[in-house]
Amino acid sequence: MPSRVTALPYRYTPSGVLEVLLVKSRRRGRWILPKGKLEANEHGHERAALEAREEGGVDGDISATPLFRSRIFDPSQPKIYPLLVTTELDVWPEMAVRERAWMTVPQAVRAVSGDRLQRVLDIFPSEITAHAAGPAHTVEAL
Protein backbone atom coordinates (compact mmCIF):
# COMPACT_ATOMS: atom_id res chain seq x y z
CA MET A 1 0.00 0.00 0.00
CA PRO A 2 1.47 3.39 -0.96
CA SER A 3 2.42 5.76 1.83
CA ARG A 4 0.30 8.87 2.24
CA VAL A 5 1.59 12.35 3.00
CA THR A 6 -0.07 15.55 4.14
CA ALA A 7 0.97 19.17 3.79
CA LEU A 8 0.21 21.63 6.56
CA PRO A 9 0.39 25.04 4.84
CA TYR A 10 0.76 27.95 7.24
CA ARG A 11 1.60 31.63 7.35
CA TYR A 12 1.84 34.51 9.79
CA THR A 13 -0.33 37.58 9.38
CA PRO A 14 1.36 41.01 9.52
CA SER A 15 0.34 41.17 13.20
CA GLY A 16 2.02 37.80 13.86
CA VAL A 17 -1.07 35.56 14.06
CA LEU A 18 -0.49 31.98 12.88
CA GLU A 19 -2.94 30.83 10.20
CA VAL A 20 -3.30 27.47 8.45
CA LEU A 21 -4.75 26.73 5.04
CA LEU A 22 -7.56 24.21 4.80
CA VAL A 23 -9.17 22.88 1.62
CA LYS A 24 -12.56 21.27 1.12
CA SER A 25 -12.56 17.56 0.31
CA ARG A 26 -14.08 16.73 -3.05
CA ARG A 27 -16.43 13.96 -1.94
CA ARG A 28 -17.83 15.13 1.38
CA GLY A 29 -17.07 18.84 1.37
CA ARG A 30 -15.22 18.66 4.70
CA TRP A 31 -12.34 20.93 5.65
CA ILE A 32 -9.07 18.98 5.40
CA LEU A 33 -5.35 19.44 4.81
CA PRO A 34 -3.91 18.81 1.31
CA LYS A 35 -2.82 15.18 1.04
CA GLY A 36 -1.85 12.52 -1.45
CA LYS A 37 -0.15 9.20 -2.10
CA LEU A 38 3.60 8.95 -2.34
CA GLU A 39 4.77 7.78 -5.76
CA ALA A 40 7.78 5.50 -6.33
CA ASN A 41 11.15 7.28 -6.03
CA GLU A 42 9.53 10.36 -4.52
CA HIS A 43 10.39 12.11 -1.25
CA GLY A 44 7.54 12.73 1.17
CA HIS A 45 8.12 16.46 1.43
CA GLU A 46 8.16 16.80 -2.37
CA ARG A 47 4.79 15.05 -2.71
CA ALA A 48 3.32 17.10 0.16
CA ALA A 49 4.45 20.33 -1.54
CA LEU A 50 2.91 19.20 -4.83
CA GLU A 51 -0.39 18.39 -3.11
CA ALA A 52 -0.43 21.83 -1.46
CA ARG A 53 0.04 23.42 -4.89
CA GLU A 54 -2.54 21.24 -6.68
CA GLU A 55 -5.24 21.24 -3.98
CA GLY A 56 -4.66 24.57 -2.24
CA GLY A 57 -2.87 26.72 -4.77
CA VAL A 58 0.10 27.60 -2.56
CA ASP A 59 3.88 27.38 -2.81
CA GLY A 60 6.51 27.98 -0.19
CA ASP A 61 9.25 26.50 1.94
CA ILE A 62 8.59 22.93 3.01
CA SER A 63 10.42 21.02 5.69
CA ALA A 64 12.05 17.75 4.68
CA THR A 65 11.32 16.48 8.19
CA PRO A 66 7.74 15.58 9.11
CA LEU A 67 6.06 17.05 12.17
CA PHE A 68 5.32 15.26 15.42
CA ARG A 69 8.29 12.89 15.26
CA SER A 70 8.81 13.37 18.98
CA ARG A 71 5.20 12.57 19.84
CA ILE A 72 3.37 9.28 19.75
CA PHE A 73 1.37 9.07 16.54
CA ASP A 74 0.07 6.05 14.69
CA PRO A 75 2.75 5.16 12.10
CA SER A 76 0.03 4.02 9.69
CA GLN A 77 -1.21 7.63 9.46
CA PRO A 78 0.14 10.03 6.82
CA LYS A 79 3.32 11.94 7.60
CA ILE A 80 2.64 15.67 7.94
CA TYR A 81 5.05 18.19 6.43
CA PRO A 82 4.82 21.88 7.35
CA LEU A 83 4.88 24.32 4.45
CA LEU A 84 5.55 28.00 5.16
CA VAL A 85 3.55 29.65 2.39
CA THR A 86 5.32 32.35 0.40
CA THR A 87 3.05 32.44 -2.67
CA GLU A 88 -0.70 32.10 -3.02
CA LEU A 89 -1.63 31.32 -6.61
CA ASP A 90 -4.62 32.95 -8.34
CA VAL A 91 -5.03 29.89 -10.57
CA TRP A 92 -4.24 26.31 -9.52
CA PRO A 93 -5.04 22.80 -10.80
CA GLU A 94 -7.98 21.96 -8.49
CA MET A 95 -9.51 25.41 -8.03
CA ALA A 96 -12.70 24.37 -9.81
CA VAL A 97 -13.33 21.48 -7.41
CA ARG A 98 -11.88 22.72 -4.10
CA GLU A 99 -12.51 25.68 -1.87
CA ARG A 100 -9.61 26.98 0.24
CA ALA A 101 -9.61 29.12 3.36
CA TRP A 102 -7.08 30.61 5.74
CA MET A 103 -8.03 30.13 9.38
CA THR A 104 -6.50 30.77 12.74
CA VAL A 105 -5.62 27.57 14.56
CA PRO A 106 -8.67 27.74 16.89
CA GLN A 107 -10.95 28.34 13.87
CA ALA A 108 -9.37 25.41 12.01
CA VAL A 109 -9.77 23.09 15.02
CA ARG A 110 -13.50 23.92 15.07
CA ALA A 111 -13.87 23.59 11.27
CA VAL A 112 -12.39 20.12 10.81
CA SER A 113 -13.97 16.83 11.78
CA GLY A 114 -12.06 13.98 13.30
CA ASP A 115 -10.22 13.87 16.59
CA ARG A 116 -6.80 13.20 15.02
CA LEU A 117 -6.87 16.24 12.74
CA GLN A 118 -8.20 18.42 15.55
CA ARG A 119 -5.35 17.22 17.78
CA VAL A 120 -2.76 17.83 15.05
CA LEU A 121 -3.98 21.38 14.54
CA ASP A 122 -4.28 22.04 18.26
CA ILE A 123 -0.64 21.16 18.97
CA PHE A 124 0.72 22.59 15.71
CA PRO A 125 1.70 26.02 17.13
CA SER A 126 4.03 24.52 19.73
CA GLU A 127 5.33 21.91 17.30
CA ILE A 128 6.16 24.41 14.53
CA THR A 129 8.11 26.58 16.96
CA ALA A 130 10.27 23.59 17.93
CA HIS A 131 10.43 22.38 14.32
CA ALA A 132 11.46 25.72 12.79
CA ALA A 133 15.16 25.02 13.18
CA GLY A 134 14.99 22.01 10.83
CA PRO A 135 15.97 22.02 7.15
CA ALA A 136 13.48 23.47 4.67
CA HIS A 137 13.35 23.38 0.90
CA THR A 138 11.90 26.02 -1.36
CA VAL A 139 9.18 24.40 -3.43
CA GLU A 140 10.16 26.18 -6.63
CA ALA A 141 13.63 24.62 -6.36
CA LEU A 142 12.33 21.03 -6.23
What is the largest distance, in Å, between two alpha-carbon atoms of the chain?
43
pLDDT in tens, 86-106: 999 999 999 999 999 999 999
Expressed in angstroms, the distance from the first to the final Cα of the chain is 25
Say which residues have a Cβ less than 8 Å from residue 36's Cβ, sequence separation at least 6: 4, 5, 47, 48, 50, 51, 54
Say which residues have a Cβ less than 8 Å from residue 65's Cβ, sequence separation at least 6: 45, 81, 131, 134, 135
Residue 115 pLDDT exceeds 70:
yes
DSSP state letter for 2: -
Q: What's the pTM value of the predicted model, to 2 decimals?
A: 0.87
Residue 131 pLDDT exceeds 70:
no
Residue 137 pLDDT exceeds 70:
no
pLDDT in tens, 12-65: 999 999 999 999 998 899 999 999 999 888 999 999 999 999 999 999 999 998
Say which residues have a Cβ less than 8 Å from residue 113's Cβ, sequence separation at least 6: 30, 31
d(CA 127, CA 108) in angstroms, rounded, equals 16
